[in-house]
Amino acid sequence: MNKKVTFIAPYDDLMAYGIRILSSSLRKEGFSTEIIFTPHILKQMDTHSISLLSDAIKEMTHDSFFVGISFFSCHFNAVKALTEAIRNKIRAPIMWGGKHISARPEDAAGFADIVCIGEAEIAIKNLLNAMAKNDNYYDLNGFWFFKDGNFKKNRLAPIIEDLDSLPYPDYSLEGHYLWDGKTMHKMTGELLQAHLKIAEKTVYQTLSSRGCPYSCTYCSTFKALYSDSGYLRFRTAENVIGELKEMKFRFPRMQAITFCDDNFFALKEDQLEKYAALYRNEIGLPFRCLAHAHDVNKKKLEILVNAGMNELQIGIQTGSEKTRKLYKRGPSTDKVLDAVGLIHQFKGRLMPFYDFIIDNPFEEEEDLIETLHMIQKFPRPYHLNVFSLIFLPGTELQKKAQEKGLIIDSTRQFESRKKSYINFLFYLYCRTIPRRIMWILVSKPMLKTMKHKYIVNFLYFMSDSIKRLLKRKADTWAIE
């Protein structure tokens, strides 16, 4: 009987880029794989839903080498519940992997049999070769093994230095399944395409690199694990365009591409020119990418806009110098405004999306006002993405919060969302508001008057009511 590997992807979209790369890498080595996508698991964590899913997994994994679950910190409780549910139903060992468990492998104690730490391609290939031969695998690098109540802790496996040596992600549909909360469906092209839609467009997401040149204190990456290994690596333009050509053929209704790299602008101008030439000739679809304001210049913008970039997401996060130091993230306000001004020169061809973080317990009101004052200087049009600060396990900022007594349970991500007039202004600034009104809203008399909790509650009530009203109208128009 040919055995296989079963992966479970709990992410809320079906990109699961790491698992798809791992699946195609193992298939290239002659192993069989299957992937179970569970995009709704965070909304279906009740005992009945988890039991139904575990029963379905039991029927599918009787011939699996192991069942591997890769997850983020937000999935920890759901994965823990699912692991407990399947433990007594299957014979295969259970492996956990991903960013959370790589930062805190001890969290797997009592749940997973194996923890894969860091990048998995080399480590899991070695593990499967040993399992297939019934060899002892407890000394293999890249893993912690839970045995007899203790972990056997091994060193990291090496990273793959040549990313071009990896096959393209596995979008074959073969051995792919979708759990909808009640039923396990064999993946079809229609199902997959429906889940690739972003804002009603079919969007393919890819990665052209691994790693980031920056080390922000709130960000969870594998970078700290490989501090001596040159973790930032890039694929060649030819390799990335080859992947996009294959996926464009596989998904003929594809409408856009998103490069999900932490900082696509980390590439040099000559590298971007090569990308642009190939992309224009071979792909020709609008695309979006992410950048750091420090790496934005007019030449790079010209190269990428002329190649089809129509959306650019910039992580600015704060306009406060104090908070920048806390995040260990630049650049200065002047440099941010310079970058925003350069981007505005491409108005009509390029839409910017600027990211900001609120709900930071280390910030004072003055820090947030400083950020709002900076945003007021941004020329329109633009979109704001406003996020609550999340203390992710293993990050420098999470450790600082734990030392200050802000976090009790260090096994999970932690955030402190709150309603305040200042926070309301951030969401209000996402709308098109005249600049003069913006200045009035953040003036000292308004800040003093509007911070009263009854006024704040009323503002949020009105905002929520308007959102519900607009949603009902949109639903009515959709029915008509």
Q: What is the mean pLDDT of residues 234-240?
A: 97
Which pLDDT belongs to residue 259?
98
Share of the chain above pLDDT 90, in %: 76
How far apart, in whole angstroms, are the C-alpha atoms of residue 270 and residue 24? 31
Which pLDDT belongs to residue 409?
67
Q: What is the mean pLDDT of residues 77-98?
A: 95
Which pLDDT belongs to residue 466?
82
Report residue 143: phi and psi, to 5°. -140, 155
Which pLDDT belongs to residue 479?
45
Give, in degrees to the nearest 5, the angle at Cα 87 between 138 and 57.
Answer: 110
Nearest C-alpha neighbor of 470 from the set 459, 121, 462:
462
How far apart, in whole angstroms, are the C-alpha atoms of residue 384 and residue 362? 22
Confidence of residue 221 (pLDDT cuts 50, 70, 90): confident
Q: What is the mean pLDDT of residues 284-311?
A: 97
Homologous superfamily, domain 4-164:
Cobalamin-binding domain (3.40.50.280)
CA distances from 240 to 209, 211, 276, 430 (A): 10, 16, 12, 34
Bond preceding residue 381 cis, omega within 30 of 0? yes
Higher pLDDT, 61 or 416: 61
pLDDT > 50? residue 96: yes
Higher pLDDT, 126 or 469: 126
CA distances from 123 to 70, 127, 312 (A): 14, 6, 35
Q: What is the mean pLDDT of residues 454-471?
A: 85
Which pLDDT belongs to residue 222?
83
Return the CATH class of domain 196-442: alpha beta
On average, the pLDDT of the chain sits at 92
How confident is the model over 254-279, as pLDDT tens digits?
999 999 999 999 999 999 999 999 99
How far apart, in whole angstroms, are the C-alpha atoms of residue 316 and residue 135? 50
How far apart, in whole angstroms, are the C-alpha atoms of residue 121 and residue 267? 25
How far apart, in whole angstroms, are the C-alpha atoms of residue 366 and residue 442? 11
How far apart, in whole angstroms, are the C-alpha atoms of residue 418 and residue 163? 42
Share of the chain above pLDDT 70, in %: 96
